[in-house]
Structure 1
Amino acid sequence: MEDEPRRFFGPSKDVTLGEVGGIAPPRMGEPLNSLDAEALMSVVGPPELPEAWKQGFFFAGYQPYGLQQVNGGPCGVIAVVQAFLIRALHFRAASAAALLEVDESLRMEALMDAIAEVLFRNVGDNKKACVLVPSSPSASILNVSQLRCLQPALFTSYDQLRYFLSQRPYRDIFFNPSGCGVPLLLFSMVWTRTVEGCRERDFDDPKTGTMIGGHGYCTQELVNLMMFGRAYSNVFDGTKRLGSAKDGWMVLQGAPRRPNIGFLSLFEAYSCIEVGSRYKGPSSPIWVVCAESHYTVLFSADGSVNPQDTDKALDLFYFDQLGRQSERIRLTVIPKRLPAHLTTGFEESESMIDRCIRTKWKEATVDWNGSEIIL
């Protein structure tokens, strides 16, 4: 009987509840059936998520503003949420110094802001969000049969979602360190965008596109879905066409607009991909950094810094949610002043982070200000 779906412990769609705090509760749907679960997992990728994905979104004390990643695998999801958390602190914290020393209350508010921005404003096009709620906050939801305990909760406004993230059961399922908040956000994003939307409208190749790739790592499609609401496969600006009118065009889709959070990749330093100006110059001075198979975050603590400027020197803070980073790492980036011992700045002897930085700030000197350089 373990494969039988279990009802969510809260309201069903047939139960009418009064408003909570002046905000109406979400509308509940039926639990996923076997076909729903299989379709959802087919877009996610593997038939079962690795055990490393079983964690929630939480702070562990290494840096006041920093989320904690327990094991390798879900770094893409956690790094993007970390980036949007910093963006929320740009608005909530009184100063750059206050951001770096944020207290427990304010950082939790910013974390809920980040989840709501990713799920409602980005993935849901500022129109809706579907949170897939398990039958119990402690339920394991890593394979197809386990997904049948998920029940969709439909939110139709940002304020509605943002309010209920601070209430049970939502705060328990997302923010319990040993829970399944990370995979629940993944499943909820796919369900909000819809299986068909991801496969037929977003992926370059609907037959092979997935959210999770080899070794349980996030694909570019998943990172893009979180960053600007489309599970596109590329990071260049706009779209490109391959082929011909005679044989048929293949349309490749990249960043459709200037996003709020930027993206830099070591693969561009290797000349394997092209990261467009939209991703390099987001609206907030925060960048998710992909260095081979791991995602981390670079950000300015000063939200007024112009992220499109590539000529002025600036300080960036580096945070690795998997790095148990007890030391605050501040990098000073000085563009167009390549150290004399370097020819391109992309030499293999250089730090992966330095090389990522130089894809935007050309020929920059990167001063780690006494911190140990992460190669």
Structure 2
Amino acid sequence: MSNDNPDVESKVEDKRSRERVLYARKHVLPDQKAPVAGGEPVTEALAVALRNAVFGAPAAVPVPRPEWLRTAFTFRPAERELGYGLTGGRSTVRGLLAVVQAHVVRHLLFGVPAPFANSTVMSSGMVHPYHHERLLRPTALEQQDALCVALSAILWRVGERKRCVLTVPQEESYLHPNQIYCPDGVTEKLQIFEVTSLEDLQIVIKRYLYLFQAECGPGALLLLYSAVLTRGLDKVVADMDQAQTSLIGAAEEGSACVVMLLLTGRATPYLHNGVLYVGDEEHYALPRWGVLSRGEVGLLLWDEAREDDAAQPGSRLKTPSLPVWVASGAGHFGLLFSTNRELLRNYHAERRFDLHYYSCNGSHGLLSIDTRYDCEEPREPMVEALASPIEKVILSKWQDAHITWIKSSHAV
């Protein structure tokens, strides 16, 4: 029997609101710092091997890439435009940030709980226009949840959904300066956790999320170290196939090996589908490992130095299961995504659609993509030679498409 008394209904709603607030406070906030406990301390041999594999420099000298020691996962202000966005300067960390950013957006748009999803996702698969802006303006707690899910998803795939290693620093150093190892403030303090379930991984990450988000902290390096140890040091070196001597490489915004490790679970420089065997009459054919399976997040790339077909992403990277891509235009990393879940599943959805672009330096925009080659509406032809790098990235998947910038700006 319903109660028509407005005062009673108001009190019930107030009670529900208080209960929701109490539940939200169960999350670990940045100022609630759980001390690091458990796990195994890093050894000198492991610290030296990590530094050599990642940075390619002897561990007896200081880390040559100091940006990795002071780049955390920092969001833009919550509940505002671009609240989904991570921030970061132009450095070798940018590629890693782009992969994490892609998984954050994937979760915010397409990983919502079922009751909420039923009210915001239309039968066509597109997020309702009145709600996708809300999804992309997360609260502070939603930002933390999305980051936790993103880091967990990345490491779980690197670990082939079987086991993962997570590294976090504690207060004291386990190693001291000597002729073999020069401290960097992070590596010698690592506590190493090994987990065998996704649930346990999420619990540990949530407990120590503040270490990944600490201002000017080493959050990005902690993720990379975790991914390397999850994959295995020997396997990471073998994955690179002598294409480069260290995982970071010399690229200004990070190497393809870092991006591929976090996207596909292999630190391979090759972007093609499957395995190719390359050899000649004088040499045995050797395998080049590319992308073995399709993921939820893809990769689109354009670079004058990689215009040959062999250096382009294969269909498994170009066509992920969800419309979210890490985008690399002329070596600059960003993110492209659509709010329509069905974009890559429905031919008609790809005839005309919008794409959002975001880069951690604050560049963002909305682009209209028209692939209707037989369109009767008059339009100026797209001159590819004059297109911007991000437009060329889009054309690498949707050839001959007409691209219009609806809006473009740069956040402060």
**TM-score where L is the length of structure 1:** 0.82
Instruction: Give the structure with higher Rg (CA).
Output: 2
Of the candidates 55, 58, 81, which is equivalent to residue 45 of structure 1? 55
Unaligned runs of 5+ in 1: 1-7, 13-27
In structure 2, distance between residues paired with 1:246 and 1:229: 32
User: Is residue 2:343 matched to residue 1:305?
Assistant: yes
d(CA) in 1 for partners of 2:409, 2:360: 17
Give the whole-Å Cα distance in 1 for the aligned partners of 2:198 and 2:350. Answer: 37
Structure 2 partner of 1:11: 37
Task: State the distance in 2 between where 1:227 and 1:215 align.
Answer: 18
Map of 1:91-240 to 2, 5 A cutoff? 91-92=111-112, 94=117, 95=120, 96=127, 97=132, 98-120=134-156, 122-136=157-171, 145-146=183-184, 147-167=187-207, 170-200=208-238, 202-205=239-242, 208-214=244-250, 217-240=253-276
**Cα distance, 1:172 vs structure 2:** 1.9
**Cα distance in 2 between the residues matched to 1:290 and 1:30:** 37
1:370 and 1:159 mapped to 2: Cα distance?
A: 40
- Counting only pairs closer than 5 Å after superposition, residues 313-352 of structure 1 correspond to structure 2 as 313-323=352-362, 325=363, 329-337=365-373, 340-342=380-382, 345-347=383-385, 349-352=386-389
Q: Which amino acid aligns with 2:354?
A: D
| TM-fit CA distance, 1:295 | 0.9
> Partners in 1 of 2:274 and 2:353 — Cα distance?
28
Distance in 1 (alpha carbons) for counterparts of 2:95 and 2:143 = 20
Match of 1:3 in 2: none
Structure 2 counterpart SS, 1:369: strand
1:163-215 superposed Cα distances (whole Å, 9 cap, x missing partner): 22222xx1221111321101111111111111111113x22227x34321116
Deviation of 1:346 (Å): 2.9
- 2-structure distance, mates of 1:205, 1:220: 13
Contact 2:304/2:330 (8 A) holds in 1? no
CA contact (8 A) 1:280 1:308 kept: no
Residue 248 of structure 1 and its aligned partner are, at CA, apart by 1.2
SS of residue matched to 2:210: helix
Unaligned runs of 5+ in 2: 1-33, 58-62, 121-126, 175-180
Which position in structure 1 is the counterpart of 2:287? 251
Counterpart CA distance in 2 for 1:319 and 1:204 is 32
Rate the CA distance shift 1:136–1:301 in 2: closer, same or farther, 3 A. farther
Whole-Å Cα distance in 2 between the matches of residues 69 and 127 of structure 1?
31
Identity %: 27
Deviation at 1:106, TM superposition (A): 1.8
Question: What amino acid sits opposite 1:50 in the alignment?
Answer: R
Contact kept in structure 1, 2:92 and 2:248, CA below 8 Å? no
Contact 1:38 1:144 in 2 (8 A): no
Tell whether the 8 Å contact from 1:268 to 1:275 is kept in structure 2 after alignment: no
What's the offset of the Cα at 1:45?
Answer: 2.8
* Equivalent AA in structure 1 for residue 75 of structure 2: F
Change (3 A) 1:196 1:138: closer
2:9 maps to: none
Runs of 4+ in 1 over 6 A off after TM superposition: none
Change (3 A) 1:171 1:277: same
**Distance in 1 between the 2:169 and 2:333 partners?**
28
SS at match of 1:187: helix
CA distance in structure 1 between the partners assigned to 2:249 and 2:305 by the alignment? 22
Deviation track 1:217-261 (CA, whole Å, cap 9, x = no partner) reads 321111111011111111111121211475212221211111211
Q: CA deviation at 1:299?
A: 0.4
- Residue equivalent to 2:300: 264
Question: d(CA) in 2 for partners of 1:235 and 1:353?
Answer: 19
Aligned partners of 1:334, 1:137: CA distance in 2, in Å? Answer: 57
1:364 pairs with 2:401: yes
Deviates most, 296-305 or 73-82: 296-305
Pairwise CA distance, 1:60: 2.0
Pair 1:260–1:138, CA change in 2 (3 A): farther
- The size of the alignment, in residue pairs, is 336
Deviation at 1:360, TM superposition (A): 0.4
- Contact residue 331 and residue 368 of structure 1 kept, 8 A: yes
State the secondary structure of the residue aligned to 2:355: strand
For 2:356 and 2:258, how far apart are their aligned partners in 1? 24
- Deviation at residue 356 of structure 1 after TM alignment: 0.6
CA offsets 1:8-36 (integer angstroms, 9 cap, x no match): 96334xxxxxxxxxxxxxxx123221x21
Shift of residue 270 of structure 1?
5.7
**Residue 285 of structure 1 contacts residue 305 of structure 1 at CA under 8 Å; is this kept in 2?**
yes
DSSP 3-state at the match of 1:355: helix
Cα contact 1:204–1:253 (8 A) shared by 2: no
Match of 2:40 among 10, 29, 51: 29
Kindly provide the amino acid, as one letter, of the partner of residue 66 in structure 1.
G
Relative distance call for 1:39 and 1:334 in structure 2 (3 A) is same
Q: Whole-Å Cα distance in 1 between the matches of residues 172 and 356 of structure 2?
A: 34
Aligned with 2:165: secondary structure?
A: strand
Give the structure with the higher percent helix.
2
Structure 2 partner of 1:86: 105
